[in-house]
Chains A and B, each alone.
Chain A
Amino acid sequence: MSAPRWQLSWWLIRAQFQTRRTATALSMLAIALGVALGYAIHLINDAALADFSQAMKSVQGEPDALVAPQDSAGRVPLALINQLARDEAVALVVPVIETRVRIGELTVRLIGLDVFSAGLLMPDLLPRQGESIKGGGLFEDGMYASPALLARLQTKIGAGVTAMRGDARWSTHIAGDLPAARPDDLLLVADIARVQAHFGPADAVSEGRIRLAPGTKLTAWLNTWAGKLPPGITLRAAADNQARLSNISRAYRVNLNVLALVALLTGGFLVFATQLTAVAQRSTQFALLGVLGLSPRMRLMQVLFEGLAIGVPGAVIGLALGWAMAAAFTRLLGGDLGGGFFSGGTPAIVPELLPALGFFALGCAASLAGALYPAWLNRVQPLAQALKTGFAQRPPSGRDDALRPRAGKAIALALVAGAALALTRLPALFDLPLAGYGAIALVLVLGIAVAPLVTQMAFGAFARRELPAAQRIAVQNVMQAPLMAQVAASGLIVSFALTVSMVTMVASFRVALDQWLDVVLPAPYYVRSKGVPLPPQLLAALERPDAPFARVERMAAGALNLDPRRPTVAVLVRELDPANPGARLPFTGEILAAPAGAIPVWISEPMQELYRLKPGQTLRLPLLGREVEVFVGGVWRDYARQFGAVVIGATDYRALGGKFEATELALWPHQGGEAAARDWLAREASRYGIEMAEAGEIRALSLDIFDKSFAVTYALEAAAMLIGLFGLAVTLAASVWLRARELATLSALGFNRAMLTRAVMLEGALIAAIGLAVGLACGIAVGAILTHVVNPQAFHWRMELQIPWLQVLPGAALTLAAGIIASRFAALQATRLPAAQVLASAQ
């Protein structure tokens, strides 16, 4: 394009922005919002993952491979470590013992290592001897504490310290610090032999970290060991940990990204509505430019340029906003956006060029996509006709849509509906509910396509009847201005459908969570320690006859690594009645009795789906360092552990040789002894630094966390509704404006302004009513897809559908009222021009 044409293009863009400030600014804002949301989610996740993997690297070092037990309660025999060390392809094996100990009220990671080999692989864990510590070599005795831990314990190098785990204890002194530890890590490091001596295990370690000899191919080497490992032990690439890490939050992240995409799409829709009306309003101007020699391609490009002129600043604002949002959110909620996946400090937000460019491009693409149809319509406007009678809503195609057989349309719609239904039956792709998202998109398309049919059916009868003039004009316009009415309605359909679906999904989930909490929290009181076994003194005290409890149930939690690239599965060892597990677990189907001699386990819904298991089948679990055959006795609902959990009875676990060290207690006080029980528990909990909670508190907290993590969806719903309403106002104003001459003629014929305003308001009400009705139907369908397809596939959460009519119907009424107000605004704008002026002007 030559410089003079750019000049013209720029004049037109500037004029457009000046005459339609609000519409342009709002479209820009909507694009900005979509980009900001997507970019913020990306930045936060990136930062959280980087932070988390940095933390992991700091403690784990950077080995090539790991040898580890599959069961968190398992061990790697020293013999295997030695065997690996003798392998020629292995440069170095660093044995590590990692355990959690209690120091006072604090739970701390204690890492036992061999300082000479570990220094090569895990430099961040290298200890530094305190200057005050005399004599002896490095690692003679004592523990080395991270700076954060020293600060937390308010102690100094050289001071005494006692670490406890279950009934084992080790009293020693702090011999130095860990200068390279990360600022918020609470860590203890000690010589591996000493840790073994105090906390076990003998002749075994918890993990071996392997550096391969230069030139060794990792996968090939892993294969050479494939069949040679003892049961219950895995040898895996260290990089798998990274994959697992990102798998933890993947579904949650994708879901948030889809929300951001929806925001971006609504931004695209606003650009569409703005540009369509802009094209319509300027049809005579563009025709004139065409007569003066503006080529059809340039008529198309001009509208696309205008779309870009909205998209580029919108995307830039979005990037800035996204960065600000990310910084603010991580400070407020931490790196997991309230999702509860990563805990720890505030990760640093580091924007990088490439993703920023990607999101910038997305914003531009959304606004370009929005401008595409209006641009095309502008290109195909017949010049001579546009000069004479203005904008043609339909491209000149020769065929008349209204005359096309309705049967054809009905079949096409039925096909779309069938495709949507078929998509909901498809399984997850790459563990993501992609088909489900596709089905949602199709439902929305269906809603938009079905709207004109609904309009005809709803108002066809009206149009034939005798009506007062104002009503007649309104009904006729809705029937005869198909494009504008459809655009106005489709904005409302999409935004209301998304809002209804979200509200439905959240309501269904909340009801389900509420019911689930009832079953999983049967006892009035709970006690929990963070990962370390509960102190044996407390357990002993509970067994004494003067303890104020009628019943105490113990539970221990461990973890199983069934698939190196997936997050671990929780193993819950529980004291429950094997004949009646339904009393403690919310089963989803029937409970099968295990055949004689078989060990029953009960798996959670996520575990059933992730590992494709069925009740009644037997399963080999890598428990306690060997393959144990267990019988799947049933499937229970679990909203707490997204990556699966398996429950095994404490008696069976002990019989397998497992050590049942309780980490959690459920407590039932004596009848009438609640107050005494409470006081007793509060006293004991504070003595040992463990958590106690009433069932009601846990329940309230859970629901509170739920509400908080869905709070962001309410903001999105509000934004969607505003955009829908704004789309209605813009298109209605434009369609009234396009008919300004007709309205002026009417007023010359004796209509007064009030009557015209009433007609336009009625028109807006009719369009809004259709949009809301179709949107409601689509919203329920989308809500059902979210509840029955997307949630189970993404998070393995299943639940019943609940439609919250008490929120949805008032919401619809409110939107209708807002729509009528918006159309009043549109009418006032359109009828503000004196009739004479409109009639005299050519445009």
Chain B
Amino acid sequence: MLSVANLTKRHPGSARPVFSALGFSIAAGEIVALAGESGVGKSTLLNCIAGLELANTGAILVGPQAQDIVRLDEAARAALRATTIGFVFQAFHVLPTLTVAQNVAVPLLLGGVAAGEHAARIEALLGRVGLPGFGPRWPGTLSGGELQRVAIARALVHRPSLILADEPTGNLDPRTADEILVLLLERVREEGASALIVTHSQHVAQNCDRILTLTPDGLQ
């Protein structure tokens, strides 16, 4: 489902690459934890996989068609994200001017999913992330934990085959964080998707199928 080969990324203007010649793959339905010290390049790796940043060399094959996101142009990368990738951030990135249901609907609209299916799918998913009836509410009236549940629903709603999560619970208290992560993992398994989850939590890592650790010398 995801296959990374010989990946090197150097930020423009910096002398040393963040990482070089990385290689790993994730099978369909596999959930992998990504650990590593702060500043080692975990977020950069995720951004490269999602095509938000461009790797300097190497290949990243994503999705059932195994498209190489490094070789795609910006529009094609956006289209790939809209159809095959779901992203959850550390910060609760939601659009403050859209309702909860509208926020969740955005990937459906971008992925060109027929409007008739939207309402039912969104309502069902909101129920499964523990937010039944939250659809018409405005993000400003939700707590941090609730917002992150919205973000999880949004990452799953278009049935992507790969979920990328960058410290999805970093901003939450430990109890809520665990709850949310368990929820995320359950939902990912339910959808049969693959996932790469950046986390510092041992507990979370243990719930994953495999743990990758990024160090300045490469993956371990």
Contacts and interface: CB of A to CB of B under 8 A. Distances in A.
Interface of A: 2-5, 7-8, 11-12, 15-16, 18-19, 284-285, 288-298, 383-384, 387, 398, 842-843
A290 to B, nearest CB: 7
A384 B52 contact: yes
Contacts of B85: 293
Interface residues of B, number: 37
B96 interface: yes
A387 B81 CA distance: 16
A293 B111 contact: yes
Given A384-B53, A398-B12, A292 B87 contact: yes
Given A5-B109, A842-B93, A295 B79 contact: yes
Interface of B: 12, 43, 47, 50, 52-53, 74-75, 78-83, 85, 87, 89, 91-98, 102, 106-115, 154
Contacts of B96: 285, 843
Given A294-B78, A384-B47, A398-B12, A289 B92 contact: no
12 contacts: A4-B109, A4-B114, A7-B109, A285-B96, A288-B93, A289-B110, A291-B81, A292-B106, A292-B154, A293-B110, A296-B74, A297-B75
B110 A383 contact: no
A285 B92 CA distance: 11
**In terms of DSSP, what is the predominant structure of the interface of chain A?**
helix
A7 B53 CA distance: 28
A398 B74 CA distance: 19
A16 B97 contact: yes
Nearest to B50: A291
B93 A387 contact: yes
B150 to A, nearest CB: 12
A295 B89 contact: no
A292 B160 CA distance: 11
Contact of B110 (A16, A19, A294, A384): A294
6 closest A-B pairs (Cβ-Cβ)?
A293-B82, A15-B97, A842-B91, A4-B109, A295-B78, A293-B81
A2 B112 contact: yes
Nearest to B74: A296
Contacts of B106: 8, 289, 292
B98 A290 contact: no
Instruction: Name the residue in A12, A284, A387 with the highest tally of chain B Cβ atoms < 10 Å from its Cβ.
Output: A387
A12 B152 CA distance: 21
Given A4-B115, A297-B75, A383-B52, 5 more contacts: A4-B108, A8-B106, A19-B97, A293-B83, A384-B47
A279 to B, nearest CB: 14
Given A284-B93, A291-B81, A7 B110 contact: no
A290 B78 contact: yes
Contacts of A294: 78, 82, 110
Given A291-B52, A842-B93, A7 B87 contact: no
A517 B200 CA distance: 88
B141 to A, nearest CB: 13
A12 B98 CA distance: 8
Contact of B79 (A8, A293, A387, A842): A293
A295 B115 contact: no
Instruction: Name the residue in A16, A296, A383 with the highest tally of chain B Cβ atoms < 10 Å from its Cβ.
Output: A383
A7 B102 CA distance: 10
A292 B12 contact: no
Contacts of A297: 75
B152 to A, nearest CB: 13
Contacts of B108: 4
Nearest to A286: B95
Contacts of A291: 50, 52, 81, 87, 93
Contacts of B79: 293, 295
Contact of B75 (A12, A295, A383): A295
A419 to B, nearest CB: 37
B167 to A, nearest CB: 13
Contacts of B75: 295-297
Contacts of A384: 43, 47, 52-53
Instruction: Name the residue in B47, B85, B111, B113 with the highest tally of chain A Cβ atoms < 10 Å from its Cβ.
Output: B47
A384 B83 CA distance: 19
B115 A285 contact: no
A398 B108 CA distance: 36
Instruction: Name the residue in B91, B95, B111 with the highest tally of chain A Cβ atoms < 10 Å from its Cβ.
Output: B95
B170 to A, nearest CB: 11
